[in-house]
Amino acid sequence: MLNTETPSTRHPDLDTYATPALLDAFVDDQTAAVAAVKAALPQLAAAVDAAVPRIRAGGRLLYAGAGTSGRLGVLDSVELYPTFSWPRERAVAVIAGGQGAMFVAVEGAEDDRAQGAAEMAALNPGPNDVALLLAASGGTPYVLGAIEAARAAGALTIGFANNPGAPVTAQADIGITLDTGPEVISGSTRLKAGTSQKIALNTFSSALMVRLNKVYGNLMVDLKATNVKLVKRAVALTMRASGASEADAQAALAQCDHHVKTALVMLKRGVGADAARTLLDAADGSVSKALAA
């Protein structure tokens, strides 16, 4: 029996617990998710380093999964745009059962290997693309079909699973095993298995964005200021990183469509928006290099 399907020996009487003990059991078990990701850091690092040159060359992030894993892939792909101004068309996710499966479980869809292959192939993957294949069990047919299509097209394939020796990690160019073990509720991989996948995806994509110069120091300087909260965040980030007053930060941001990177170079180099963009382009988007030029 797979680790993720094996009943936990730690809480055989879970249904009899008082509410505080019940909650503590769920929360305490989540610590294994962090430990599982830490154990996989060498593989995650290899995945980031392998992905960077492909993405720099114009590649895309292509996610495929089913159920909780599929929804986590969609979530990661969607959040890259507001957080890092990553183009939506360069982070694309497919999920077994189609877009509706984000909101209503389509349980049988994960068993369709041909559909997984067809939906990945429909994205027209290429050698510069990076495919992230997600399956808690590691043997979901839909995901195995997707990985076959991605590999056939020459894309870099990164497989995530929560069981050692899983097909999805064995067949990927880089396999990332998040060995979270049995769940508090037997087989419910929306629990710590899902948490570990969320941590791993956050870690991978955030590290990739840092390598792509989307961060200055530890500041999120390439965000899309698409609402009032994010406009305020852009002002605060600009003030913090440049030392400028609120009025000067707002004035600079107003001249560059609230792009924090550009505003920082404007303020710290004493140049206009066009000159700041030219400096950033020459520095491959790195604020540090643009300021040092």
Classify 130 in phi/psi space as left (phi over 0), alpha (psi -120 to 50) or beta.
beta
* Cβ neighbours around 196 below 10 Å, total: 27
Catalytic residue among 110, 119, 148, 183: 110
| 79 catalytic per annotation | yes
Structure tokens at 100: 């509706």
Q: Which helix (H) or strand (E) holds 220?
A: none
* Cβ neighbours around 15 below 10 Å, total: 8
Q: List alpha helices for the chain, DSSP H.
A: 19-29, 31-39, 41-56, 67-84, 113-121, 141-152, 167-171, 192-211, 228-242, 246-255, 260-269, 273-282, 287-292
**241 and 217 Cβ atoms separated by less than 8 Å:** yes
Alpha-carbon Rg for the chain, nearest whole angstrom, is: 21
* Cβ neighbours around 198 below 10 Å, total: 18
**71 and 95 Cβ atoms separated by less than 8 Å:** yes
| 110 catalytic per annotation | yes
* Cβ neighbours around 157 below 10 Å, total: 27
Structure tokens at 109: 């869809």
Distance CA 94, CA 244 (A): 43
**32 and 195 Cβ atoms separated by less than 8 Å:** no
**195 and 160 Cβ atoms separated by less than 8 Å:** no
Distance CA 185, CA 89 (A): 38
Write out the catalytic residue numbers: 79, 110
